[in-house]
């Protein structure tokens, strides 16, 4: 692979004035930030110092770069240790041979060598850039020779800071420290160049906004909006991974709103901006888009109240639970607006979109199931459901029951306090009933009182369709009446068989 940058050169061939404008002088670390860097290296000092010395002795550079430096400076936990060097991967392998406890090369085609030493896992990547041809889905990787040249190709200035090894010299050629303090996402060079190099950075911009609470610099937002269609050349898996990180961030709403406002969602989750239904004085209804974002916020708040970890399935279901409304909207007399069966349509749409984004099959199925079930509770009324109806509700939700509880509660966004309180009391009631029945009957694993072998023996028949019909009959009986016991179930089965001539 050709070298594309020499020490001190501008690797993008951007005019010097433009580079100067986008590369303010590095700021100085505060005492607190310097302490954070010192503390970061205290836990990994032996390994990184030894590595730095090995590379320096061989005439090569080595630096901790990107996310670990950024996170240490803002007080976030550091989990990944990414190093960068001017040494090509074959040289890296030679330098760590016999020193590292283990080495892996799955990323070597992209210039990355992974290793483990004394329990610490690090990845060392040769100075590089990645770029896409106009219609290519795979980036082309080029090696460089200078740290500055590597940093200018990073996605954002807050990720373009480094700490050289050995010695821990802080390097910040593009003003990342100042942007970190300002909570601003800028690119080291022109954002158009950055997004051309890797269009996924458009998604990374909105993901970092949600994850770190940062704002996009005006020129970054403008370029993201103008180049959002470039996401079509990025693999669905890479886009999905950024979306997952966004949704599991502290403030997904911030990222989703940016995606919609900048037109990014049109290429990733087009169903979401389509929920922005027009509202007029004759046909009044809730803004479905704003409602869905509020449901997402409330689901996250309930997650925290209930001691749950950030839940991807729940958050996807909260965001997508009403995506079927635009397709099912109908206007009726008197200004009434209806969305009949939007939960069924929405479940199908959710599964189609998540499948297109290559989400795992269990995630697709679980989100679709929650969307399909999210209206079920609204038939509960004032608690007039029978125990059999409560059993069916719990059984249909199965292992998704806790998530369904949260989603259904979060779906209440009415400003009418009396109505909200009434809904909350009704859901408190159904949860208590489910808990009581669960203690009595193990609701999560409801089965008929007789299994398939017992059904065959009682009916004196072999395997076949009639066994499935009989099993479903006994399941409905079990849901309706609760546990019956084998003798009573056998009597009901014989009676059923006689009625059906089996």
Closest by CA position to 18, among listed 161, 158, 188: 188
d(CA 54, CA 87): 12
Contact 122, 107 (CB under 8 A): no
Residues 214, 361, single domain; the answer is no
| Residues 406, 345 share a domain | yes
End of a domain among 268, 287, 313? 268
Residues 328 and 440 in one domain: yes
Q: What is the CATH number of the domain that holds 120?
A: 3.30.460.10
Give domain status of residue 65, yes or no.
yes
User: Quick check: 299 and 312 in contact, CB under 8 A?
Assistant: no
C-alpha–C-alpha distance, residues 483 and 443, integer Å: 11
* 215 and 128 part of one domain: no
Residues 143 and 64 in one domain: yes
66 φψ region: left (φ > 0), alpha (ψ -120 to 50), beta (else): left
Say whether both 308 and 441 belong to one domain.
Answer: yes
Decide if 464 is inside a domain: yes
Tell me whether residue 222 is in a domain.
yes
Number of domains in the chain: 4
Q: Give the three-class secondary structure for 466.
A: helix
Final residue belonging to a domain, choices 147, 179, 211 = 179
Task: Give the end of a domain, one of 423, 445, 467.
Answer: 445
Closest by CA to 43, choosing from 103, 139, 121, is 121
Within-domain flag for 205: yes
pLDDT string in tens for the chain (502-residue length) = 333 332 333 333 333 333 333 333 345 777 777 777 777 777 666 788 889 999 999 999 999 999 989 988 888 888 888 999 999 999 999 999 999 999 999 989 889 999 999 888 999 999 986 666 666 656 666 788 899 999 998 999 999 999 999 888 899 999 999 999 999 999 999 999 999 989 999 999 999 999 999 999 999 999 999 999 999 999 999 999 999 999 999 999 999 999 999 999 999 999 999 998 755 443 444 589 999 999 999 999 999 999 999 999 999 999 999 999 988 888 877 777 878 889 999 999 999 999 999 999 999 999 999 999 998 887 776 667 888 888 888 888 888 999 999 999 999 888 888 888 888 888 888 888 888 887 766 555 567 888 888 888 888 888 888 888 888 888 878 777 777 788 888 888 888 888 876 5
Q: Are residues 139 and 232 in the same domain?
A: no
pLDDT at 138 (0 to 100): 65
At 334 the pLDDT is 72
| Same domain for 456 and 441 | no
| C-alpha of 144 from chain center | 33
Tell me which residue range forms the domain holding 463: 452-500
Is 186 domain-assigned? no
Query: Is residue 313 one of the residues assigned to a domain?
Result: yes
- Residues 326 and 382 occupy one common structural domain: yes
Residue 410: CATH number of its domain: 1.10.3210
Q: Under 8 Å CB-to-CB from 112, ≥6 apart: which residues?
A: 89, 123, 124, 125, 126
In a domain, 192, yes or no: no
Same domain, 408 and 457: no
> Are 4 and 113 within one domain?
yes
């Amino acid at each position: 692979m050709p070298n594309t940058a020499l020490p001190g050169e501008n690797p993008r061939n951007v005019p010097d004035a433009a580079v100067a404008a986008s590369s303010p002088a590095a700021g100085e670390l505060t005492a607190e930030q310097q302490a954070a860097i010192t503390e970061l290296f205290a836990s990994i000092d032996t390994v990184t110092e030894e590595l730095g010395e090995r590379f320096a002795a061989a005439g090569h550079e080595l630096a901790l770069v990107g996310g670990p430096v950024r996170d240490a400076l803002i007080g976030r936990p550091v989990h990944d240790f990414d190093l960068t060097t001017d040494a090509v991967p074959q040289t890296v392998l030679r330098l760590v041979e016999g020193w590292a406890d283990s080495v892996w090369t799955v990323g070597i085609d992209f210039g990355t060598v992974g290793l483990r030493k004394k329990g610490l896992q690090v990845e060392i990547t040769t100075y590089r850039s990645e770029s896409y041809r106009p219609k290519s889905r795979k980036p082309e990787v080029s090696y460089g020779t200078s740290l500055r040249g590597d940093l200018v190709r990073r996605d954002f200035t807050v990720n373009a800071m480094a700490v050289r090894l050995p010695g821990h010299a802080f390097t910040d050629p593009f003003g990342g420290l100042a942007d970190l303090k300002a909570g601003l996402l800028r690119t080291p060079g022109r954002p158009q160049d950055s997004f051309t190099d890797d269009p996924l950075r458009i998604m990374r911009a909105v993901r970092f906004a949600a994850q770190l609470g940062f704002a996009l610099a005006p020129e970054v937002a403008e370029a993201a909006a103008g180049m959002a269609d470039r996401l079509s050349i990025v693999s669905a898996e890479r886009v999905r991974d950024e979306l997952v990180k966004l949704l599991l961030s502290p403030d997904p709403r911030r990222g989703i709103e940016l995606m919609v406002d900048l037109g990014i969602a049109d290429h990733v989750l087009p169903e979401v901006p389509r929920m922005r239904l027009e509202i007029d004085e004759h046909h009044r209804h809730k803004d479905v888009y704003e409602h869905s974002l509020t449901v997402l916020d409330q689901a996250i708040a309930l997650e925290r109240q209930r001691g749950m970890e950030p839940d991807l399935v729940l958050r996807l279901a909260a965001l997508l639970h009403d995506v079927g409304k635009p397709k099912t909207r109908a206007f009726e007399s008197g200004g009434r607006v209806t969305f009949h069966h939007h939960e069924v349509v929405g479940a199908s749409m959710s599964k189609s979109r998540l499948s297109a984004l290559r989400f795992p099959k269990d995630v697709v199925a679980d989100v679709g199931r929650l969307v399909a079930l999210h209206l079920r509770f609204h038939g509960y009324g004032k608690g007039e459901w029978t125990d059999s109806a409560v059993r069916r509700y719990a059984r249909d939700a199965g292992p998704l029951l806790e998530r369904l509880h949260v989603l259904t509660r979060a779906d209440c966004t009415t400003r009418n306090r009396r109505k909200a309180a009434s809904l909350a009391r009704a859901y408190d009631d159904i949860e208590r009933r489910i808990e009581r029945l669960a203690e009595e009957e193990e609701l999560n694993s409801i089965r008929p009182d007789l299994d398939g072998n017992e059904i065959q023996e009682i009916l004196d028949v072999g395997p076949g369709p009639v066994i499935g019909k009989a099993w479903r009959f006994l399941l409905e009986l079990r849901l309706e009446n609760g546990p019956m016991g084998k003798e009573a179930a056998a009597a009901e089965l014989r009676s059923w068989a006689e009625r059906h001539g089996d």
